[in-house]
Structure 1
């Protein structure tokens, strides 16, 4: 009797056991499928060309419809600097803009002088007016512009030392008194400029301490040229 009851209970529990077993097997199979399909490898595809557009940017076009009449800038197709033209002749360079203006003014003045036939006619070499003798302790040197007063300038030296740095020649005589040393005394006249009526023109004379003229002459000098005379004190 007891065995029969036990068999009856076994038969009643068998369907539940089979259900649990089938559920377990189903879950195991589903888990295996998920584990195999968890990740999918996607192969890389190499692009034929670079996707970045590296073409240079072009300037935008000016606005064609301009109702307000605004001045729109023109697009320069080429921004290269102009090339310097080749020249076989050296170019003049001026560090100061005033130098260019001064040269233009000088060129214009020289052109006027040329048209008026006032070109340089003075001596290009130093002029020597010889030797004179005196017993005076002093020599009175006088000078004047024998032509038009045109701003001629001279410098006077005695024995290499400047005694008058800058003298403007007038149409009347001006002068100075020079102390003479024993023996030779050299009196020099340097043409600082040529005025506006070329060249530097002057009439000079030398007097002794009694007022007597012991030397007299004229010069026509270019700029930078000297005239000189030797006075010998006995």
Structure 2
């Protein structure tokens, strides 16, 4: 009976000691972590669900000018090139050309006389060529009014003939039969004596039907 009592007391003390040890144990309170303050949200403009809402709206109908733009004031021509040509022609009307300038441009309409030259040679060589653009100029050559070459095509190189001189006047005429493609009839001629010396040389610009004359006088 005593043994049972002591056993009961032992268990009671043991249980009390365990409860006391639990009451004396240190407990660490939980520490709350401070929350990071929330950033304020930016104020955004109200948008709709359309992907193109941020683009400017285009008008439903585009108004186009009824008249095409022109850089020419008071334009009277459909083609600007015609207006330019008209202005160019107006400027040319104000330009006054001398008689010599007109003849160089259009060809002389009067016969040209290049003078008379003395020589003691037995003969001379008469040579001629187109001194401008070779465009089909044709001349007729006469000596003392006799035709010696009816039609001579003027090329870029010199061509000609030998002329035996008669005592006195030996007249040589070059008659322009046409004005070629670009006009006027343009040529250069040379008269060379039997010693190879140049007696005379010159150029002409002739209208159709006009002649150039040079005279060699044999002494």
Q: TM-score interval w.r.t. the shorter chain?
A: 0.5 to 0.7
What residue ranges of structure 1 are gaps of 5+ in the alignment?
A: 1-114
2:163 alignment partner in structure 1: 178
- Aligned pairs for 1:62-81 (under 5 A) are none
1:208 alignment partner in structure 2: 193
Question: Among 135, 140, 163, which residue is 2:125 paired with?
Answer: 140
Q: Is the 8 A contact 1:120 1:222 kept in 2?
A: no
- Please give the per-residue CA displacement for 1:185-225, whole angstroms capped at 9, x wherever unaligned: 10000000000011000000100011111100000000000
- Computed over aligned residues only, the root mean square deviation of the Cα atoms, in angstroms, reads 1.8
Report the count of equivalent residues. 118
What residue ranges of structure 2 are gaps of 5+ in the alignment?
A: 1-88, 90-103
- Please give the per-residue CA displacement for 1:142-188, whole angstroms capped at 9, x wherever unaligned: 00101111000001010010111110001111110011110111000
- Aligned pairs for 1:4-43 (under 5 A) are none
Give the TM-score, by structure 2 length.
0.52
Deviation at 1:120, TM superposition (A): 5.9
1:45 alignment partner in structure 2: none
Task: Supply the distance in 1 between the matched residues of 2:116 and 2:148 (Cα, whole angstroms).
Answer: 20
Task: Supply the distance in 1 between the matched residues of 2:200 and 2:181 (Cα, whole angstroms).
Answer: 28
Give the TM-score, by structure 1 length.
0.49
The answer as to 2:151 corresponding to 1:156 is: no
Task: Supply the distance in 1 between the matched residues of 2:148 and 2:210 (Cα, whole angstroms).
Answer: 18
Deviation at 1:139, TM superposition (A): 1.2
2:108 alignment partner in structure 1: 123
Question: Among 186, 206, 210, which residue is 1:221 paired with?
Answer: 206
Structure 1 stretches of 4+ moved >4 Å: none
Task: Supply the distance in 2 between the matched residues of 1:120 and 1:203 (Cα, whole angstroms).
Answer: 16
